[in-house]
Structure 1
């Protein structure tokens, strides 16, 4: 069993529930040795109600998690991070977060394709132009050396199968992750939503088997991510059973030890 999770949200984002301490206790009860908090990053002068917390919640986030880091230091290692979207305008801010020493790591979770006037625009999975821009931002983000893990790397396949264009995009993502020494995440969040019919195939929105077959050809490294939005997600059958059966059936070797990136 995997004894870490680097993908844990908090109620500050507006779509997660539970107290910070409840997540730590849940991780301990599941015999985890590391819990990494990576809520959607707070961005100065930006409000996204129900998506991410406001910037003025940053200090409370850091204070609470540092308190838990000390309180439970004999039972589990508590790490502080953020899930970020890459945009060139935010790169210095992300770098400063890491250089400050207040944050242990960053993960890249690209949900948007534009950032302008403190607003973000989501990508459209069915749009070729949109998915091209989405993958291009991932490539640029991975090259910065700021991100340790690319989470839900197959997110662009939530609404469609892996067609010829999708295969090319998947190769680009996996190639960039390998070249920049970034782990790819097998994300449990998509599994908790259950399977559905997508392009005549009954499957999870993600993870997508064909994507990970391509990733294995690129010799990528893999981690498991709960993508916890509730302490119960640590106890969910997906985390206890199904995700492990999936990676076994797909012959995906999950890293037992994860090396987090430091600022270059």
Structure 2
């Protein structure tokens, strides 16, 4: 039986990064201008917040960075607000060891959107956290050696806890963990965990993100069509995000989302 095709507003790109996160290119203004050129009505910057992570490079903003981020965002709203609605949000990476710190930092600012993710996992084999979304060979090797199944168990468990503990408004990266690991599959236990996670998302009144960065990585957006059906079955609203790390990626492939949603919910 078909599910109703859900609505998604492709005039808004709700997941954009900038040079502030240390692994994207371009100033905030470059992304604003790209969105205007592409005819978008709204964007939301969703810059990275992490706490207590040990990793060989910083892929997140400090509080000083966030001060500059908000200062520049305010300037851009004043200059371009009549042409584009500009949101200032955060993609907060959950760390169960630092939940209170994250809550304190989130409470200290007004966010237009709070995206929930889980990028870094503490593993017993190494001093540094494992970057679960990395394409780097070191991270892929470590994940393979530790065991993908147990890592995914931890991933979904921590995402559920993050949804319950943090004041999130949108779930990011439902199925992006170990996305560069060849031959990755989900067990029935993982699917059960996902359903429990989605129930928590629904209870909190959150949305779920359809992230078009997956098209370049695996030929379809994140999350996959089977998981999207589960999201729709839970009656969770959808929002579109490009996960742009370059200005030219703003709104990428949004014109394909309507067709993807229609085919995903069909039997």
Q: Does TM, scored on the shorter chain, surpass 0.5?
A: yes
Residue-by-residue CA offset, 1:53-108 (whole Å, 9 max, x unaligned): 44432222221112112221212221111111112443333333443344333111
Say if 1:46 and 1:194 are closer, same or farther in 2 by CA, change over 3 A: closer
Answer yes or no: is the 8 Å Cα contact 1:6–1:38 preserved in 2: yes
Question: Residue 205 and residue 227 in structure 1: after superposition, are their counterparts in 2 closer, same or farther (change >3 A)?
Answer: closer
Cα 1:136/1:186, change in 2 over 3 Å: same
Structure 2 counterparts to residues 1-264 of structure 1, below 5 A: 2-41=10-49, 43=51, 49=57, 51-114=59-122, 120-123=129-132, 124=143, 126-156=147-177, 158=179, 159=181, 160-195=184-219, 204=220, 206-234=222-250, 236=252, 238-239=253-254, 241-251=255-265
What's the offset of the Cα at 1:229? 0.9
Write out per-residue CA displacement over residues 111-130 of structure 1, whole angstroms, 9 at most, x where no aligned residue: 122399x9633344852222
Tell me the secondary structure at the aligned position of residue 155 of structure 1: coil
Aligned partners of 2:24 and 2:246 also within 8 Å: yes
Task: Tell me the distance in 1 between the aligned counterparts of 2:24 and 2:109.
Answer: 26
- The count of residues paired between Structure 1 and Structure 2 equals 241
Determine the C-alpha separation between the residues in 1 that align with 2:34 and 2:169. 24
Distance across 1 between alignment mates of 2:51 and 2:72:
19
Q: TM-score, structure 2 length as denominator?
A: 0.78
2: CA distance, partners of 1:140 / 1:191: 28
Which structure has the highest strand share of the two?
1
Residues 16, 250 of structure 2: 8 Å contact kept? no
Query: Unaligned 5+ residue runs, structure 2?
Result: 1-8, 133-142
Q: Would you identify which runs of 4 or more consecutive aligned residues in structure 1 move more than 4 Å?
A: 42-48
Q: Distance in 1 between matches of 2:148 and 2:207?
A: 27
Shift of 1:132: 1.4
CA RMSD of aligned residues (A): 2.9
